[in-house]
Amino acid sequence: MVTVIWGAVLVVIKADRVIPPEWNPLAPLNVTEPVTLFTNWRLDRALATPAACLAALNTAGRFDVMDDFEASNTCHIRTRVDLAGVGQVLINPVETTCAIALRMAMWEQHSLQPAATEILDTTVTGIDHIGSYNCRRIRSASGSSNRWSTHATAEAIDIAGFQFADGTRSRLLDDWDANDARARFQRAARNGACDWFQLTLSPDYNRLHADHFHVQSRGWGLCR
């Protein structure tokens, strides 16, 4: 009996030393680790509590933690951070939720940088956004809706373009339809956003999104 227990303990200790954290479903999320079958599960766990989210964001984000902002029942920023960068990328400081910041960090690390290297032979140094928190209702192509926007709780951010290490910029409005390498990068950026956010709307969705990606930290997986 003692031998059996010792055997089990040894196996656990050995497994703990051999399995890299990205293959350990119980290891806290580190943004910089390679993506595995367990990454999405670990991301969900990181998003489950404010403390876990901030700890995960700490592995790749430049940010200050702020007190929750409560304007009303429908308009607030909970687990609020002042985000100034993710990975190698600088961001014009924006107050948003930890969930949006963490998803942006995953997007930068695992989608934007690989796509920039492969398609443009450079690195992304900046993400241009046009805001996260906005206490307003949903806008649609046919007008305003009664439902509150995810911007009202900073569970969304609008991305207008990117800056690169060679000093160039790419705006969605200029390059989405260009049929060149920048347009291919923007498609790759949109498709990558669909992997890391819960809902992604690009210029393909409707004319309201001609100049930005709208990405959300909650939703049903719409990717267009």
- Applying CB under 5 A, the residues found at the interface with Zn ion are 156, 158, 214
> Which residues, other chains included, contact 214 with Cβ-Cβ below 8 Å and sequence gap of 6+?
156, 158, 199, 200, 201, 205
Give the C-alpha separation, 206 to 44, whole Å.
29
Give the nearest distance from C-beta 106 to Zn ion in angstroms: 19
Q: Which helix (H) or strand (E) covers residue 124, if one does? A: strand 124-129
Shortest spacing between CB 122 and Zn ion, in angstroms? 27
Instruction: Closer to Zn ion by CB, 57 or 156: give it.
Output: 156
* Pairing status of strand 156-164 against strand 169-171: antiparallel
Specify the residue, 155 or 158, whose C-beta has the smaller distance to Zn ion: 158
Q: What's the closest the beta carbon of residue 156 comes to Zn ion, in angstroms? A: 5
- B/e letters for 188-199, b = 16+ CB within 10 Å, e = fewer, are bbbebbbbbbbb
- The three-class DSSP label of residue 163 is strand
Instruction: Output 22 or 158, the one with its CB closest to Zn ion.
Output: 158
Q: Which residue, 45 or 214, has its beta carbon nearer to Zn ion? A: 214
